[in-house]
Amino acid sequence: MKRKFFIVITFMIFSFCLLADTENLKSGIISLNEKKYDESEKYLLKALNEDGNKNAYFYLGLLYNDVGKYDLAEEYYKKAIDEGSKNALNNLAMIYMDQEKYDLAEECYKMAVVKNVKGSVYNLANLYYILEKYDLAKRYYTIAAQEGDADAWEMLRIIELEVSRVYY
């Protein structure tokens, strides 16, 4: 749930930052938001190939992620990262999480944390929780909680309950 929320939020943030972008990119994003994937792909590829708009890499990553073409999503997120997209780091890490490529996910999340990508601290904590690295999970959940993430507080309580069951 939280994972989808951050992808949607990322998408919406970029959607409002289109003042200088091409019509093809705008049309591609609108179509993507409406889940008209074939139409969106057409416009985004035009934005990239005809207009030279490198922002299309990120949106193509979103599109391919949405339709389950994870290899293509990974490819386009990597290109978006090369072009300076911070949010693509978090999204790429989520793909790696789904594929249980935890080392790659950790690397991406750490880079996203350094670049202050919203949600990346919480997501890194989730990774450590899944890997049962509870000390690291607690550290990052605490940071996320201090940044105002209510779910992080709940996860800290869950970890405390789990740890107390083991020792009592």
Neighbours of 68 (CB within 10 A): 8
| Each residue's pLDDT tens digit, 33-46 | 999 999 999 999 99
Residues 111 and 48 in one domain: yes
Residues 108 and 131 in one domain: no
Q: Which two tokens stand for residue 88?
A: 């693509």
> What is the percent of the chain where pLDDT is above 90?
79
pTM for the model: 0.80
Residues 81 and 132 in one domain: no
Residues 111 and 156 in one domain: no
Domain that holds residue 39: 2-118
Closest CA to 53 of 74, 89, 86, 79: 79
Taking residues 22-37, report their average pLDDT.
94
82, 103, 118 - which closes a domain = 118
Residues 106 and 155 in one domain: no
State how many domains the chain has.
2
